[in-house]
């Protein structure tokens, strides 16, 4: 349901991805992060097919090495005393808006069109964004948001900026854009705006089996107008197995059954739903209907500060819906099951030898490793690698493992960590985006911008 406004903010916010990104004329000439020595992480290893209470994950290149229950020889071993799991996959976000502080709405709303047209939203989000846009700081906002994601253990996100400068030098994987050399995902913010040539192109790509996932914001609200978007989806011939419905808060049981029958999927953002509408998607029922469900933190203004925080909200809401408590299933909703929804099984969201080396290490806080993950927040993140690049780690580990340490030291919830954002930057065209510089630019435009380490 579209807002009535046609201002630049709405143009940016509602810009979907309706056709494939063009292939680059030549491979991007990028730099790598500081080289690391070959090493192995020791700790409790969680993957889609096993738990190793004391396991070893071998790293040192762009892909994962052996994952064993015996220590490898000839490499340095980092005793994490933690939980080693795949980098998290956040299936719903609006990253460039995650610079704003959390918003406490003065009321609840019938649907997203209402709050998008409200005066309070104009004041708290649209006007500050306009200042950033006028100062050409949208790429800076996105960089800042990507750092927020990765220090929370996230290595892949949905909803990336459409800004080409950002996509060219992304710090995390953008799963609805060109990824692993191909672009097989699309996204829609306002379904009623998809018409004409854009709709025909989308339908043609579906017919040609060129799409694995279409992320569609749908039925976000609690009223009949929100529910009616489901009929619009069907009229556009987009109720297909590739459909990934974001929100679906207003869907009736009959519509949920149709969704299941079509083989479509759901992405759940309970914190944002509850804050804006005092209601959320009946995920217990979705599970009963065997609809695959992933989780996304949405955005900071109304959602959770991190994907780990959103997991806790999801758990509490499932308990409220009288669903069985299943910690492993919840972890799957931001790892291997999320990857399956995205059509990226074997590429993200799992720890298997030969897969891209996207890894997160969490401090352990419970004897049950699944429970430990669910009790974690970003302060528990001790190490993150993306494609083998050591991008965020405890400073003592970073200094041990890198050959020429020059990362940026940051204080993260009282712990000294090192952040390395040199990777992915185009050689000769950009300098590494240090967090201190990003923060200075953002605060120069809006002193009320939200912090990362909070």
The pLDDT profile of the chain, 454 residues, written as one tens digit per residue, is 544 445 777 777 777 888 888 776 555 555 556 667 899 999 999 999 999 999 999 999 999 999 999 999 999 999 999 999 999 999 999 988 898 888 889 999 999 999 999 999 999 888 988 899 899 998 888 889 999 999 999 999 999 766 655 666 688 999 998 899 899 999 999 999 998 999 999 999 999 999 999 999 999 999 999 999 999 999 999 999 999 999 999 999 999 999 999 999 999 999 999 999 999 999 999 999 999 999 999 999 999 999 999 999 999 999 999 999 999 999 999 999 999 999 999 999 999 999 999 999 999 999 999 999 999 999 999 999 999 999 999 999 999 998 777 789 999 999 999 999 877 655 556 667 789 999 999 999 988 888 899 8
Do 100 and 193 belong together in one domain? yes
Residue 33 lies in a domain: no
Do 57 and 151 belong together in one domain? no
Do 227 and 352 belong together in one domain? no
Q: What's the pLDDT at 23?
A: 75
Residue 432 lies in a domain: yes
Residue 290 lies in a domain: yes
Q: What's the pLDDT at 3?
A: 44
Do 51 and 141 belong together in one domain? no
Task: Give the CATH number of the domain where residue 397 resides.
Answer: 2.30.40.10
Q: Which of 339, 362, 390 is the last residue of a domain?
A: 339
Residue 26 lies in a domain: no
Q: Which of 211, 178, 218 is nearest to 194 (CA)?
A: 218
Q: What's the pLDDT at 414?
A: 96
Q: Are 394 and 402 in contact (CB under 8 A)?
A: no
Q: What's the pLDDT at 164?
A: 56
Q: What's the pLDDT at 55?
A: 98
Task: Give the CATH number of the domain where residue 129 resides.
Answer: 3.20.20.140
Q: Which of 339, 355, 375 is the last residue of a domain?
A: 339
Do 266 and 304 belong together in one domain? yes
Do 49 and 13 belong together in one domain? no
Do 302 and 278 belong together in one domain? yes
pTM attached to this predicted model: 0.95
Q: What's the pLDDT at 333?
A: 98
Do 263 and 308 belong together in one domain? yes
Q: Which of 308, 339, 370 is the last residue of a domain?
A: 339
Residue 28 lies in a domain: no
Do 324 and 256 belong together in one domain? yes
Q: What's the pLDDT at 27?
A: 53
Residue 30 lies in a domain: no
> Domain tally for the chain?
2
Residue 27 lies in a domain: no
Do 290 and 372 belong together in one domain? no
Do 138 and 279 belong together in one domain? yes
Q: What's the pLDDT at 226?
A: 97
Residue 123: domain span: 8-20+89-339
Q: What's the pLDDT at 5?
A: 46
Do 75 and 168 belong together in one domain? no
Residue 266 lies in a domain: yes
């Amino acid at each position: 349901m579209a807002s009535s406004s046609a201002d630049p903010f709405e143009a940016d916010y509602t810009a979907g991805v309706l056709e494939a990104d063009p292939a680059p004329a030549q491979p991007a000439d990028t730099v790598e992060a500081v080289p690391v020595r070959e090493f192995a992480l020791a700790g409790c290893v969680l993957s889609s097919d096993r738990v190793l209470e004391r396991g070893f994950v071998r790293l040192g290149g762009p892909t994962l090495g052996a994952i064993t229950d015996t220590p490898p020889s000839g490499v340095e071993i980092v005793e994490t005393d933690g939980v080693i799991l795949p980098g998290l996959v956040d299936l719903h976000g609006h990253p460039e808006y995650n610079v704003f502080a959390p918003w406490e709405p003065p009321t609840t709303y019938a649907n997203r069109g209402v709050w998008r047209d409200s005066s309070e939203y104009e004041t708290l989000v649209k006007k500050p964004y306009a200042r950033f846009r006028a100062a050409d700081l949208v790429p800076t906002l996105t960089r800042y948001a990507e750092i927020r994601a990765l220090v929370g253990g996230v290595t892949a996100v949905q909803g990336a900026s459409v800004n080409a400068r950002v996509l060219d030098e992304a710090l995390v994987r953008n799963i609805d854009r060109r990824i692993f050399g191909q672009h097989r995902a699309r996204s829609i913010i306002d379904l009623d705006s998809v018409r004409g040539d854009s709709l025909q192109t989308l339908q043609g790509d579906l017919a040609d089996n060129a799409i694995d996932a279409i992320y569609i914001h749908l039925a976000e609200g609690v009223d009949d107008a929100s529910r009616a978007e489901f009929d619009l989806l069907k009229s556009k011939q987009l109720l297909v197995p590739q459909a990934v419905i974001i929100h679906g808060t207003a869907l009736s049981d009959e519509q949920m059954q149709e969704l299941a029958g079509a083989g479509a999927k759901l992405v759940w953002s309970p914190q944002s739903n509850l804050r804006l509408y005092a209601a959320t998607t009946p995920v217990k029922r979705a599970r009963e209907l065997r609809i695959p469900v992933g989780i996304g933190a949405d955005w900071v203004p109304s959602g959770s500060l991190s994907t780990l925080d959103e997991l806790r909200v999801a758990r509490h809401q499932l308990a409220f819906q009288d669903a069985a408590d299943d910690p492993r299933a919840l972890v799957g909703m931001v790892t291997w099951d999320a990857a399956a929804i995205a059509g990226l099984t074997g590429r993200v969201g799992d720890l298997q030898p030969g897969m891209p080396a996207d890894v997160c290490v969490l401090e352990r806080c419970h004897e049950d490793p699944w429970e430990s993950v669910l009790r974690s927040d970003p302060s528990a993140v001790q190490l993150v690698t993306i494609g083998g690049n050591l991008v965020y780690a405890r400073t003592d580990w970073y200094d041990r493992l890198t050959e020429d340490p020059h990362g940026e030291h940051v204080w993260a919830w009282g712990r000294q960590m090192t952040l390395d954002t040199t990777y992915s930057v185009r050689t000769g065209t950009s300098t590494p985006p240090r967090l201190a510089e990003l923060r200075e630019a953002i605060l120069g435009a809006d002193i009320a911008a939200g912090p990362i380490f909070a």
